[in-house]
Amino acid sequence: MTDNLPDYTPPKVWKWDKANGGRFANINRPIAGPTKDVELPVGEHPLQLYSMATPNGVKVTVMLEELLALGHKGAEYDAYFINISEGDQFGSGFVDINPNSKIPALMDHSTDTPTRLFESGSMLLYLAEKFGTFLPSDHNKRTEALNWLFWQMGSAPYLGGGFGHFYAYAPVKIEYCIDRFAMEVKRQLDVLDRHLADNEYMAGDEYSIADIAIWPWYGALVKNVVYEAAEFLDTASYKHMNRWTDMIGERPAVQRGKMVNRAWGDLEDQLRERHDASDFELRTQDKLEPEGEAAE
């Protein structure tokens, strides 16, 4: 396989080639910091979310909707759409919250000094501790939930930045790269499948932030929602993962959460901004966008 690859000798000092191609090449760069002065809007609720319905964004909107479903009024939030394809994450207001310029970004205005949060795993843990739920109180179960939360944070880059990039987004298909990351993703699916063979949820018998973190990535992969690679990876063969994925996906809060900050797919499934629970009935894109406009 490697005999057919072109020879490449890395230079002594790497230099940025803006024409490196591939999806998202127009927003990738080797430096941090803002590229433009843009203030972020601030709504009336304690929590202000700036995000997009990628798997990392869905984690947080699902968590917030789950909290609201339990009656935690302090979890009310405004969600503003950040278009990462257009570079919204490089606006100065966004970078002030997240210096890493990745969605999601969250501000908690209920604290004496507003609290900024970046990294989706940090947000899930913060919200679980703030509201005292979705993180088991039992020492062993809590530790298990955190084990799997941090497993997801460490493993997903192999799925997204590794497999997803080379299988779906790279300008050329490189067999070595696809094989390397497909092998790793299938190993991860096997890790999950074996664990879920003996556990209803990731932390045992309690739904937790571990499930909320893992489902948007690996559940979406199993159901062919990301990368259209379910057949390639034979995800149907992971029966325990499929059982768990279906169970989580049936939760009403999960169904609402995955709609927030979504700007693709069926218009009735897109709630690009969320400011009130009634928005799910009144402000989905099929109700805001004139008939036929999407096709123009």
Task: Give pLDDT, residue 296.
Answer: 46
Task: Give pLDDT, residue 22.
Answer: 67
Task: Give pLDDT, residue 291.
Answer: 59
Task: Give pLDDT, residue 27.
Answer: 80
Local mean pLDDT, 10-residue blocks, the chain (296 residues): 72 83 76 96 98 98 98 98 96 98 98 98 98 97 98 97 96 95 98 98 98 98 97 98 98 98 97 98 92 52
Instruction: Annotate 48-98 with DSSP letters as a single string.
Output: EEEE-SSHHHHHHHHHHHHHHHTT-GGG-EEEEE--GGGTGGGBHHHHHH-
Q: What is the pTM of this model?
A: 0.94
List own/partner pairs for 248-252 with CB under 8 A and 24 or more apart. Answer: 248/207, 248/211, 248/215, 248/219, 249/215, 249/219, 249/223, 251/66, 252/69
List own/partner pairs for 153-156 with CB under 8 A and 24 or more apart. Answer: 153/119, 153/120, 153/121, 153/213, 155/188, 156/55, 156/217
- Torsion angle defined by CA atoms of residues 239, 244, 249 and 250, in that order, rounded to the nearest 10 degrees: 100
Task: Give pLDDT, residue 17.
Answer: 78
Residue whose entry in the numeric block shows the structure tokens 């919200």:
127
Task: Give pLDDT, residue 292.
Answer: 54
Task: Give pLDDT, residue 293.
Answer: 55
